[in-house]
Amino acid sequence: MFGTMKMVMVVIMIGGLAGAGMYVMKLRSDNAILKANQIKLEEAVSSQKELIAKQQEDFKEILKANNKMNELVSALKKDLDDLDKRFNKKGRDFGKLAIEKTKTIQRIINGASDKAIRCVEIAGGSPLTEKEINATKKSEINRECPSIANPNYVPYNN
């Protein structure tokens, strides 16, 4: 009986040691998994930080482009208002004038059309020519859109 007790105690001790060993092995494997997960998490966090920084840069670029576009729209609106004032004067019948002075009106309209086409080109991103940049007199400017076609022209309001 005493021998059986010893044997049971030895089996319990061996079982306890085996269980403790298996528990330690499981802890080690869990630790390895947690380390791998931590590495992946840190990589994900750093990539998210890079993405956020890139999005902030893109947002700033979009704001710059939007401001530039708003300035261009404002300038074009001013030019359109000026053009509207030139055509809508009291007592002027443009149709009658066109019949009476066909060649003159045709020359004026063709010249203005060419200038208006150039305005569309500039608004679309075409670079300014030296002549357009250096224009400072009223006779040298593109009267259809002076604010975008002739940056150095300063109108005199007398």
Q: What is the pLDDT of residue 23?
A: 92
Task: Compute the CA torsion angle 67, 70, 76, 78 (nearest 10 deg).
Answer: -110
Confidence (pTM): 0.45
- pLDDT tens sequence across 26-59: 999 999 999 999 999 999 999 999 999 999 999 9
Q: What is the pLDDT of residue 40?
A: 95
Whether 64 shows a pLDDT value over 90: the answer reads yes
Q: What is the pLDDT of residue 158?
A: 41
Task: Compute the CA torsion angle 120, 123, 125, 129 (nearest 10 deg).
Answer: 70
